[in-house]
């Protein structure tokens, strides 16, 4: 399967255009931080970990824009770069985590650097390191989460938390991939995930590419699938996790979690520690992005709703911690009380 994030020399970030998958596989070349910001904003690249890695490369590209400038001017320029990238998507906390890591690296490099080019080259290497670390983290998440899935049975997922949403392998789909690699016979049910159809376009595409059995269902079919006992576990990704375990993920996740509780099916969240926001005590501290009404009124560019109809289009919702059976990170399975277990996982990453 095509990688979502590819780097090419000299210092070009290639992002798989996920807006046109699965019918076309095309890459968009990003040569400046504004190119990366636009790609994140318009959902060329999406998924919290992938957004974070892309932002790291965008930050490094920002430094490469001014390699001919005096070193003394770099700090102010990089602050502008960070501000531009940070303004793209407000909910995915990995974006801000990656920018903070890159800014920290930049500030450490400047005092001993001989010129701006030296800093820019080092920042690019740091972004490459974050890229590879994300893939390794996803594989560890998969290894921990695979034990939670049945040896034989159905697993439901919502949206796309796979290789396309990360630097590679995936979080929720990484758990499924790891279970299949262990020999478990898993059949995946994926919600279409209106309005952007990440489940229909992306998760189904990924799973079919890996020859993992998958059935696509409409979002409003999830309850029937659960009630008919076609699934024995649910695993989703996350865009931001508060310290009490409240979890923001793609709109519709909360509905799935409530249905899972009604049907006594375990509901798991898979995400790297970088998705945990230590500044968010609970869901009241999570900003929910609202997107263009045309995503709801149109499908594939075709209008499907009346002209001038009022539209409410939040991109995410928050699943309260009480509905979550466990949060799978690279350090294992965090369980209630989440304020204690998540803190332990954060401390292991210090």
| Active-site annotation holds for 239 | yes
Of these residues, 134, 239, 246, 317, which one is catalytic? 239
DSSP 151-220: SEEEEEE-S--BGGGSSSSBSHHHHHHHHHHTT-EEEEEEE--TTTTHIIIIIHHHHHHTT--EEEE-GG
Interior angle at CA 325, CA 322 and CA 326, nearest 5: 115
Supply φ then ψ for residue 256, to 5 degrees: -60, -40
Spatial separation of the C-alpha atoms in residues 43 and 89, rounded to whole Å: 10
Could you give phi then psi for residue 307, rounded to 5 degrees? -60, 140
In sequence order, what are the residues at sequence separation of 6 or more whose Cβ sits closer than 8 angstroms to the Cβ of residue 100?
none
Alpha-carbon distance of 248 to 324, in angstroms, equals: 12
In degrees and rounded to multiples of 5, residue 301 shows phi and psi of 85, -5
What is the full DSSP assignment across 205-243?
Answer: HHHHHTT--EEEE-GGGHHHHHHTT--SEEEE--SEE-T
Q: Which residues are known to be catalytic?
A: 239
């Amino acid at each position: 399967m095509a990688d979502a994030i590819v780097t090419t020399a000299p210092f070009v970030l290639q992002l798989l255009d996920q807006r046109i998958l699965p019918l076309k596989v095309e890459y968009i070349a990003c040569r400046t931080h504004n190119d990366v910001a636009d790609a994140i904003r318009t959902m060329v690249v999406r998924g919290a970990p992938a957004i974070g890695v892309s932002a790291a490369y965008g930050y490094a590209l920002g430094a490469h824009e001014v390699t001919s400038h005096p070193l003394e001017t770099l700090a102010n320029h990089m602050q502008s770069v960070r501000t531009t990238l940070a303004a793209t998507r407000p909910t995915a906390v990995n974006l801000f985590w990656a920018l903070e890591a890159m800014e920290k690296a930049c500030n450490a490099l400047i005092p001993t650097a001989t010129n701006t080019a030296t800093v820019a080259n080092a920042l690019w290497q740091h972004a490459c390191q974050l890229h590879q670390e994300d893939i390794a983290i996803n594989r560890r998440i998969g290894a921990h989460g695979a034990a939670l899935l049945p040896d034989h049975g159905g697993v439901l997922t919502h949206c796309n938390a796979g290789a396309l949403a990360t630097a590679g392998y995936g979080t929720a789909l990484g758990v499924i991939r790891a279970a299949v690699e262990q020999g478990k016979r898993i059949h995946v049910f994926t919600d279409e995930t209106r309005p952007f159809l990440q489940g229909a376009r992306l998760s189904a595409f990924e799973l079919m590419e890996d020859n993992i059995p998958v059935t696509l269902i409409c979002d409003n079919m999830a309850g029937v699938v659960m009630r008919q006992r076609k699934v024995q576990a649910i695993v989703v990704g996350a865009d931001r996790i508060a310290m009490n375990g409240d979890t923001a993920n793609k709109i519709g996740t909360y509905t799935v979690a409530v249905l899972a509780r009604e049907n006594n099916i375990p509901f798991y969240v898979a995400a790297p520690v970088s998705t945990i926001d230590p500044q968010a005590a609970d869901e009241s501290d999570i900003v929910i992005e609202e997107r263009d009404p045309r995503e709801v009124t149109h499908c594939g560019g075709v209008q499907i709703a009346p002209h001038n109809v009022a539209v409410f289009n939040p991109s995410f919702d928050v699943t309260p911690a009480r509905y979550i059976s466990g949060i799978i990170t690279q350090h294992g399975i965090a369980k209630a009380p989440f304020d204690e277990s998540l803190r332990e996982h954060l401390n292991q990453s210090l």
